[in-house]
């Protein structure tokens, strides 16, 4: 079950990334910004190996964010069905050449982008249970967000912009037909690598997958780790064919 240790790890995840900055609550109120409340979301997740993991995530109450003040745009990047079918079709055509498709999950993706506006959130009581502060301290402090956070209305679009920037540093091009698809050509102008994005998950297709998923930074910079920062699942040819056969 989700226990105090899980909550400690979750809160420490914000702190080690520099996503939170504790400030006096009076300065937050004097800024003219609304303090956005947070809540814990509990989830039972089925892992690739068949095990079950219980997760707890601290999220903001995004519906209390003020348009034009706390955010100016909202968008969740999702590659189209046509793009995914094309990607799978290319993989099947080049299957004997060693091409494979991996489904890669980017952990804590929405905590990576920096904030471009001032936003304050209330301290959740779980901080007391985890031993980070006392009840008296909680009443006198607020959190200034330095990085985005799950629950924010614009969290997905902020992450996607950062993702697009990092893809370009890998000399990948963004598709004009579908902005959620990136591709890389080799010296002969042949397709070498293709990535489709669905919010914070990526389908990566190519013949050089190991250098991408285990070596080079796929997206983020200083916070990435070879494993388990990217959780990858190889998709079999049978699974891809079944997807293509769907109407």
The secondary structure of 83-136 as a DSSP string is: HHHHHHHHHHHTGGGT-EEEEEEETTGGGSSBPSS--EEPPPTHHHHTTS--HH
Percent of the chain clearing pLDDT 70 (strictly above) = 79
Q: For helices 237-245 and 81-93, what crossing angle results, to 10°?
A: 130
What mean pLDDT is predicted for residues 70-78? 89
> How many Cβ atoms sit within 10 Å of the Cβ of residue 222?
7
- Mean pLDDT on 42-60: 81
What pLDDT is attached to residue 233? 46
**Which pLDDT does position 218 carry in this prediction?**
43
pLDDT at 208: 59
Q: Which residue has the higher pLDDT, 178 or 68?
A: 178
Paired with 24 in beta bridges are 141
Which of 98, 106, 243 lies closest to 162, judged by CA? Answer: 106
Percent of the residues in the chain that have a pLDDT greater than 90, as a whole number: 30
Range name among 25-29, 44-48, 176-180, 241-245 with the lowest pLDDT average = 241-245
- What pLDDT, on the 0 to 100 scale, is given for residue 215? 36
Residue 229 has pLDDT above 90, yes or no: no
pLDDT of residue 120: 94
Q: Is 28 helix (H, G, I), strand (E, B) or coil?
A: helix
- Average per-residue pLDDT for the chain: 79
Q: How many CB atoms lie within 10 A of CB 192?
A: 16
Predicted confidence (pLDDT) per residue in 163-212, tens digit: 899 888 888 899 999 999 999 998 889 898 899 999 888 888 887 555 44
190-197 LR contacts (CB < 8 Å, sep 24+): 191/90, 194/87, 194/90, 195/167, 196/79, 196/83, 196/84, 196/87, 197/77, 197/78, 197/79, 197/160, 197/163
Global pTM?
A: 0.78
- What is the average pLDDT across 12-21? 82
């Amino acid at each position: 079950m989700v226990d105090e240790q899980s909550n400690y790890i979750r809160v420490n995840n914000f702190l080690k990334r520099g996503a939170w900055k504790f400030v006096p609550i009076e300065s937050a109120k004097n800024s003219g910004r609304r303090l956005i409340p947070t809540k814990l979301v509990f989830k039972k997740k089925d892992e690739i190996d068949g095990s079950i993991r219980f997760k707890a995530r601290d999220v903001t109450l995004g519906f209390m964010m003020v348009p034009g003040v706390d955010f100016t745009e909202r968008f969740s990047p999702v590659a189209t069905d046509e793009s995914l079918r094309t990607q799978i079709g290319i993989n099947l055509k080049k299957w004997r050449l060693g091409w494979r498709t991996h489904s890669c999950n980017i952990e804590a993706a929405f905590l990576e982008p920096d904030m471009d506006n001032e936003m304050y959130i209330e301290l959740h009581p779980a901080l007391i249970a985890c031993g980070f502060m006392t009840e008296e301290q909680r009443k006198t402090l607020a959190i200034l967000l330095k990085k985005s956070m799950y629950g924010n209305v614009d969290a997905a679009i902020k992450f996607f912009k950062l993702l697009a920037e990092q893809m370009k540093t890998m000399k990948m091009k963004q598709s004009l037909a579908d902005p959620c698809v990136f591709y890389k050509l080799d010296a002969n102008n042949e397709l070498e690598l293709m990535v489709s994005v669905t919010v914070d998950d990526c389908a990566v297709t190519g013949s050089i997958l190991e250098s991408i998923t285990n070596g080079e930074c796929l997206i983020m910079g200083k916070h990435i780790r070879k494993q388990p920062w990217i959780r990858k699942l190889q998709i079999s040819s049978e699974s891809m064919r079944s997807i293509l056969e769907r109407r």
